[in-house]
Structure 1
Amino acid sequence: MTDYLTVNRANWDERAPAHAASPDYGVERFAADPGHLSDVVRFDRPRLGDIAGLRAVHLQCHIGTDTVSLARLGARMTGLDFSGASLTEARRIAALAGAEIPFVQSDVYHARDALDGDFDLVYTGIGALGWLPDIRRWASTVASLLAPGGRLFIREGHPVLWACDYDRTDDVIALAEPYFEQISPQVYDEPGTYVATDHQFQHTVTHEWNHGLGEIVTAVLDAGLVLTGLEEHQSVPWNALPRRMRALENGEYQLADRPERLPHTYTLQARKPA
């Protein structure tokens, strides 16, 4: 586990330019349309409410399309990611979009040392927590970043979805991977990525962890935050179970057969007491 950052950073450094060039991220739309928002943030927007004027940080921001989208909703954004290549793309995309956003390179657990001041909003998007080995340390870091009265907002893949057997092609939902946090990571070696690209990847190994929903909620509460919302959703913003999902009009995907059987994602919100 000691080298998980090195292994995963190599993977994300290689993914970043491929993701930025992929039509799935639609980078050119941020330059062409000053009102364009990422599909992820458009989904989040009704739950985020009015964030205009809030000082906000996007943890694990990757290439910054969601960060730029949040800035377009009026938040004073900072982006943080451990991948230098991702931040190179994020700065380029922000410039194309006409957004002035500082991007800081750091792993999440050292975010408090890397960032100045406190934040009204800590935002974490889809596909972030699975790269972290210790959910309690994550929650403690979030609490340290929040100003009194500040809010955590996270939408994430549901731990039941992460535990599913991705190789099945029938209609059975089977749990093949750990649901609860483990000390050792799940080690994967997969040639592709989650967007359309012709790039042939060289750094294909990743170290990942799942975290049960109860573990996440308990970590947030133990960090001193007050839970204000927990909603489970029947869609996810990528084709998470290939050959078994259908595309929806809002950029999300859903289990094609009886989607009510599976919690696809969840939104969790919490506040730091004033």
Structure 2
Amino acid sequence: MHDFFAANRRSWDERAAIHARDTTGAYMVDAFLAGADTLYPIEAAEIGDVAGKRLLHLQCHIGLDTLSLARRGAIVTGVDFSPEAIAAARGFAKRTGLAADFVEANVYDAARRTPGPFDMVYTTWGTIIWLPDIRAWARTIAAVLVPGGSFYFLDTHPQALCLEESDGRLVATYPWRTPDGGPIPFEAETTYTGDPTPLVNRKTFEWMHPVGDILSALVDAGLVIEAVREHERLPYGLFPLMVEAGERLYRLPDGMPAMPLALSIRARKA
């Protein structure tokens, strides 16, 4: 796994620098620095009151959501494996004066690398596809939570990740579960924000985790599932045919059968 993680880290180091510059405004950096909250409407409506909670944000990237949670009153620690992302996050914390800890670490090392335990673990948008072992992920979450602590997860729906657009249709293209634990390779010439800067580290590796595996891993790790919700909007155009849905979200166009595009889970440590 070291080679796969190393390739992904190189790509995310490169992307983090581009995202922190935010020439296209996709990350709302200027608005954030002026006081805006960067959370999308789905998670903003579902996470509840975080004021005063010790909160761990896994795979925090450049830290804007982490710092938005701090603005909501949480005592936050962000974790990411990219040193460039962590450097950017610390820079935004300094520029805004918001209190937050940022730790450069692999998710699987979070229990020994962060100042836990925590009242809440939070992870959203583009996270578990970068992790090969969903059960180890769930055990890490359980390990860092206090008894009764909560976990919130929101990401692209695994069903949608199996599809690609072809001639205006969505076609099943990728396996629902990564075969034999091996990753699926992808290549991208640029990052996803619309910035035209060519990427040097274009190749990345992803793992597919079906809904059943995610839920079973959390239950087996000692978490009680409190809510599972499916959503028909995403904060990005997963497929070229998607249209704007307002509030920085995208949906499938009118006339196309509706399908779940995002999945959220709320759980609690027993």
Q: CA deviation at 1:116?
A: 2.2
Structure 1 distance, partners of 2:117, 2:227, is 22
Structure 2 distance, partners of 1:199, 1:6, is 21
Q: Compute the RMSD of aligned alpha carbons.
A: 1.3
Aligned 8 A contact 2:188 2:199 in 1: no
For 2:197, the equivalent position in structure 1 comes to: 199
Secondary structure of 2:135's counterpart equals helix
Q: CA deviation at 1:249?
A: 1.4
Structure 2 distance, partners of 1:94, 1:268, is 28
Aligned 8 A contact 2:231 2:260 in 1: yes
For 1:29, the equivalent position in structure 2 comes to: 31
Matches within 5 A, 1:219-238: 219-238=217-236
For 2:162, the equivalent position in structure 1 comes to: 163
Structure 1 distance, partners of 2:249, 2:128, is 19
Structure 2 distance, partners of 1:241, 1:198, is 19
Aligned 8 A contact 1:30 1:93 in 2: no
Tell me which amino acid in the other structure corresponds to 1:111. Answer: A
Aligned 8 A contact 2:80 2:106 in 1: yes
- Identity among equivalent positions (%) equals 37
Structure 1 distance, partners of 2:121, 2:39, is 19
Which ranges in structure 1 are unaligned for 5 or more consecutive residues? none
For 1:53, the equivalent position in structure 2 comes to: 52
- Greater percentage in strand: 2
Q: 1:71 to 1:114 in 2, by over 3 A?
A: same
Structure 1 distance, partners of 2:74, 2:257, is 34
TM-score by length of 1: 0.94
Q: CA deviation at 1:187?
A: 0.6
Structure 2 distance, partners of 1:174, 1:57, is 37
The total of aligned residue pairs comes to 267
Q: Deviations over 1:85-139 (max 9, x none)?
A: 0011111112222211110000001111111220000000100010001111100
For 1:131, the equivalent position in structure 2 comes to: 130
For 1:5, the equivalent position in structure 2 comes to: 5
Secondary structure of 2:151's counterpart equals strand
Which ranges in structure 2 are unaligned for 5 or more consecutive residues? none
2:264 aligned with 1:271: no
